[in-house]
Chain A
Amino acid sequence: MAGEDLPGADEVIDHLDDLYRSDSSRARLRMEINAEFGERRLEMESWTRGTDYALVVIRAPAREAGTATLRTDEGLWNYAPRADRLMRIPSGLLSDSWMGSHFTNDDLMRETSYREDYESALEWDELDGERHLKVVMTPRPDAPVVFTRIDFYLTAQGWTPVRTEYFEGANRVRTMTFSDVREVSNRAVPHTMELRPEDRPEEFTRVEYIELDLEADVDQDLFTRRGLRRVARP
C-alpha cells in the first residue's frame, strides 16, 4: 500500500498549518490539567487574525482570570493582570510550559510553522487497524524548534489529525490525540486534544473547544496593549 496515491506534501502541510487558523477566528476553550500538583481547570477565550496575531485570555478560575498571552508579528508576551504589565517571552522559552500545562508556548501560540520549519515526508501507515496518512516531519537546519521529529497520523480522507507523536532523538517524548471531530466552516476540525508526556504517563492536559468560529470578525486593534487590556480586564 505504501507509495500509492500519496497526496502532495505541500498541500497536506498547508492543511495542517491552517486547520485551526483562518483570516480571523474566535474560540472559547476549556483546559484540564492533571499534573503532580493535582487537577486544574481553566476556561479561556482566544482570538486570532492571520498567521501572526493571536490572543488567549484566561477567564476562570478567578485567581487567574485576565491572565493573557499575546502574539504579534513582533513577539510573544504574557499579560499579568495584577501587575497590569506585559512581559516579553524570549524565543528561548517557546518550548517551555504554557501556564503550567503540558502544552508549550509554541503549541498554543504557533510561533513556528510546519511548512517553514520542517521538512516533511508522507507515507501510508496502519493505526489501530486502519489506513492513515503519516507525515514525518524533521526540522530544517536552524529552525527554532525543540523536537527532532514529529509524526502526524491523519485520516486517509480529509486529512483530519488523529494522533501526533513528538520525538527527541530516538525517544518519543509526548503524544497528542485528537478527537470529537466537528464540522466548522466546511472543515473537519477535532475539538478535543489530549497531550500526554511519555515520562509521566499518568499526567495529561486536555483542551476542548467549547466554541470555535473560524469566520469571526476580529478587530486588528485587539492585538495591541490597549485592545488586550480592554478584553482581559474585568
Chain B
Amino acid sequence: MIFKLSLRNIFRNHWRSGLTIGGIAIATALLIWLAAFMDGMAHLMVRGTTAVEIGQVQIHDPQYAERAGVHHHFAVDDAFLDEVSAVEGVTGATPRVHLFGLVGHEETSQITRIVGVEPEREAGVTIIGEAVIEGRWLSAQPAAEMDPREAVLGYTLASLLEVEVGDELAVFLQAADGSLGNDLLRIVGIVRSGNIPIDRQRVYMHLEDAQFLGALDARVHEVATRRPHQNGHLRRRSRRASRRPGWRHPRSPDQLVLRRLRPGHDPLRRRRGLHLHGDRLLRAHSLCLDPRRGLATHDRDLHRRRPVRRHPRDQRRSYRPQRGPLGPPMTLEHRYA
C-alpha cells in the first residue's frame, strides 16, 4: 500500500521528482569523485615517498623502530645484501647510515639528518640521484683521504645556509659511541625532491664517510629495499596484521612493523618466503598521510628562519625534523612510474 502510494507520488509530478533524483545523483557522484581524488592523491604521495626516499621495505635493528637512535645499528656485509636482493620480488637493496648533526659555517648552522649511502646501490632502490638540480650526485667512490668529504644537500637547506655547489661546510655530530664526530664537507650537488624533509634537512654522504663520522665500523642503521609497488595490498595486510599478537603499528596506519620475523615468512605475500635473519626487524614503511598539511607546509618551503632572540624552545621546534606529512613529489613520481 505504502509502496503504491510512493510510486504514484513520484510519477504525479515529473519535474519535482526529476529534480530531486538529479540532485541526489549529482551529489553522490561528486562525493565519489572527491573520495577517489583524495585516495589517488594519498596514493601518489606514498608512491612518491617510497620511490624517492624510503623504498618499500626496510630492515632495522628492532630497537630502531621504537626510537630511531644513532646507536641502534647492525652489521651488514655483501653476503647479507645479496641475500636480501635475491628474495623474489626484491629488485634492489641498499645499506644506509642515519646521523643527526649540525652542519654549517661561521655565519650559521642548521640541524640536519645526514644519510650515508652507497651511490650505486642507492640508485637501484630510490631515484634521489635523479633529483639533482645543481652540480652532481655523489661519485661512485668517496673522496681521497685528505680531501673534504663529498656531500649533496637538499635545496631548502642549501638556501638556509646560503651555500652553493663547491662551498665547504663543517659538520658536527654525536657518534654512535657517544663521542663527537666532526669533518669538512664539500658540496657537490643540490637535490630538490618536493619532499619537505629531504629538501629542508637532508645531507647525503658516502656510506664510508658517514660510518667514519658516526664511529660505525661497517655497521648501518637501515637496509632499504625496492620491490614492485603494492601499497593498497600492503595497507590491507597491515590492517589485518595489526590485530594479531606480536605485530604492531607504532606510528602510522600505513606502517607495519614485525617484531619477530620468522624465517621463511613473507609479511607482504602469503606464500613466498623472505629468508632473513630472525632477529632482524623487517619494516614495511609508509606514511602517515595528511594531504592538507603536506600541501600547506610545501608553500612555506623557502621561508627563511632567522633566530632573533625568540624563545629557544619555539625555535627548536621549528628546526625539528617533521614526521609524516610530506609534500607531493609529483615530478619524480611520474618519472618512476
Contact surface of A with B, Cβ cutoff 8 Å: 33, 35-38, 40, 58, 61, 63-64, 67, 77-78, 80-97, 99-100, 142, 144-146
Complex Cα spacing A127 to B177, Å: 38
Given contacts A36-B69, A91-B307, contact A82 B183 (CB under 8 A): yes
Q: Name the residue among B106, B179, B319 with the largest chain A CB count within 10 angstroms.
A: B179
Q: Mark B177-206, 1 if CB is under 8 A from A, else 0.
A: 111101111000000000000000000000
Given contacts A83-B171, A89-B109, A100-B174, contact A40 B184 (CB under 8 A): no
Chain B interface helix/strand/loop/mixed: mixed
B311 CB-CB contact with A under 8 Å: yes
Per CB-CB distance, the 5 closest pairs between chain A and chain B, nearest first, are A92-B315, A80-B182, A83-B184, A85-B170, A37-B178
A146 touches B312 (CB 8 A): yes
Q: Mark B109-153, 1 if CB is under 8 A from A, else 0.
A: 101000000000000000000000000000000000000100000
Q: Which residues of the partner chain B approach A80 to less than 8 Å between Cβ atoms?
A: 170-172, 182-184
Q: Which residues of the partner chain B approach A37 to less than 8 Å between Cβ atoms?
A: 71, 176-178
Q: Can you list 20 A-B contacts with CB-CB less than 8 angstroms, sorted by A residue number?
A: A38-B177, A40-B178, A64-B180, A77-B106, A78-B102, A83-B182, A85-B168, A85-B184, A86-B106, A86-B170, A88-B104, A88-B107, A88-B108, A88-B109, A90-B108, A92-B319, A93-B109, A97-B174, A99-B174, A100-B179
A67 touches B182 (CB 8 A): yes
A144 touches B311 (CB 8 A): yes
B313 touches A83 (CB 8 A): no
A82 touches B184 (CB 8 A): yes
B269 CB-CB contact with A under 8 Å: no
Complex Cα spacing A90 to B313, Å: 12
B71 touches A144 (CB 8 A): no
In the complex, which residue of chain B has the Cβ closest to the Cβ of A81?
A: B182
B309 CB-CB contact with A under 8 Å: yes
In the complex, which residue of chain A has the Cβ closest to the Cβ of B318?
A: A92
Q: Mark B273-309, 1 if CB is under 8 A from A, else 0.
A: 0000000000000000000000000000000000101
Complex Cα spacing A67 to B104, Å: 15
In the complex, which residue of chain A has the Cβ closest to the Cβ of B177?
A: A37
Complex Cα spacing A196 to B319, Å: 25
Complex Cα spacing A83 to B106, Å: 12
Q: Which residues of the partner chain A approach B185 to less than 8 Å between Cβ atoms?
A: 83
Complex Cα spacing A94 to B102, Å: 13
In the complex, which residue of chain B has the Cβ closest to the Cβ of A78?
A: B172
- Sample of 5 more A-B contacts, CB < 8 Å, known A38-B178, A94-B312: A35-B178, A36-B69, A80-B183, A86-B106, A144-B309
Q: Which residues of the partner chain A approach B171 to less than 8 Å between Cβ atoms?
A: 80, 83
B316 touches A92 (CB 8 A): yes
B312 touches A95 (CB 8 A): yes
B105 CB-CB contact with A under 8 Å: yes
Given contacts A88-B106, A146-B313, contact A40 B71 (CB under 8 A): no
Q: Which residues of the partner chain A approach B8 to less than 8 Å between Cβ atoms?
A: none
A87 touches B172 (CB 8 A): yes
Q: Which residues of the partner chain A approach B243 to less than 8 Å between Cβ atoms?
A: none
Contact surface of B with A, Cβ cutoff 8 Å: 69, 71, 102, 104-109, 111, 148, 168-172, 174, 176-180, 182-185, 215, 307, 309-313, 315-316, 318-319
Q: Which residues of the partner chain B approach A38 to less than 8 Å between Cβ atoms?
A: 177-178
In the complex, which residue of chain A has the Cβ closest to the Cβ of B170?
A: A85
A90 touches B174 (CB 8 A): no
Q: Which residues of the partner chain B approach A86 to less than 8 Å between Cβ atoms?
A: 105-106, 170
Tell me, rounded to whole Å, the shortest Cβ–Cβ distance linking A127 to chain B: 28
In the complex, which residue of chain A has the Cβ closest to the Cβ of B308?
A: A91
In the complex, which residue of chain B has the Cβ closest to the Cβ of A104?
A: B312
Complex Cα spacing A88 to B107, Å: 6
Complex Cα spacing A91 to B108, Å: 10
Complex Cα spacing A145 to B316, Å: 12
Complex Cα spacing A36 to B312, Å: 25
A90 touches B109 (CB 8 A): yes
B177 touches A61 (CB 8 A): no
Tell me, rounded to whole Å, the shortest Cβ–Cβ distance linking B221 to chain A: 14
Complex Cα spacing A64 to B176, Å: 14
Q: Name the residue among A95, A96, A144 with the largest chain B CB count within 10 angstroms.
A: A144
Complex Cα spacing A174 to B102, Å: 25
Q: Name the residue among A40, A80, A86, A94 with the largest chain B CB count within 10 angstroms.
A: A80
Q: Which residues of the partner chain A approach B71 to less than 8 Å between Cβ atoms?
A: 36-37
B316 touches A95 (CB 8 A): yes
Given contacts A90-B109, A91-B312, contact A61 B178 (CB under 8 A): no
Contact for B178 among A33, A88, A93, CB less than 8 A: A33
Q: Name the residue among B176, B309, B313, B318 with the largest chain A CB count within 10 angstroms.
A: B313
B102 touches A89 (CB 8 A): yes
Q: Which residues of the partner chain A approach B310 to less than 8 Å between Cβ atoms?
A: 92, 144
In the complex, which residue of chain B has the Cβ closest to the Cβ of A112?
A: B312
Complex Cα spacing A53 to B180, Å: 23
Complex Cα spacing A63 to B104, Å: 21
Tell me, rounded to whole Å, the shortest Cβ–Cβ distance linking A71 to chain B: 14
A91 touches B315 (CB 8 A): yes
Q: Which residues of the partner chain A approach B176 to less than 8 Å between Cβ atoms?
A: 37
Given contacts A33-B178, A36-B69, contact A87 B319 (CB under 8 A): no
In the complex, which residue of chain B has the Cβ closest to the Cβ of A38?
A: B178
